[in-house]
């Protein structure tokens, strides 16, 4: 019997993989925002159909999810 090594071969595994990817991306964004804020560097953001600079003091940081 040949078994697939593809982690998305079943719907349940695919959903789990997507969830883990989304969590990793969200964590990376939180960490990057915190680093920029602590270093005093602005970040670029998309608002009202255009790119703007968000000053370090105005960068929102989700303290409840940091780890």
Q: What are φ and ψ of residue 43, in 5° steps?
A: -125, 150
| CB-CB contact of 56 with 32 (8 Å) | no
Domain residue ranges in the chain: 11-59
Mean pLDDT over all residues of the chain? 86
pLDDT 10s digits, 35-67: 999 999 999 999 999 999 999 999 998 866 544
Tokens representing 46?
Answer: 């998309």
Question: CA 51, CA 47: separation in Å to the nearest integer?
Answer: 6
Q: At residue 1, does pLDDT exceed 90?
A: no
The helix or strand, by DSSP H or E, that contains position 46, with its residue range, turns out to be strand 43-47
Instruction: State residue 28's pLDDT score.
Output: 96
């Amino acid at each position: 019997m040949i078994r697939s090594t593809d982690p998305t071969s079943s719907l349940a595994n695919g959903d789990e993989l997507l969830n883990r990817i989304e969590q990793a991306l969200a964590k990376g964004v939180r960490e990057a925002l915190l680093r920029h804020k602590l270093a005093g560097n602005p970040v670029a953001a998309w608002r009202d159909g255009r790119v703007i600079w968000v000053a370090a003091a105005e960068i929102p940081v989700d303290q409840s999810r940091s780890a």
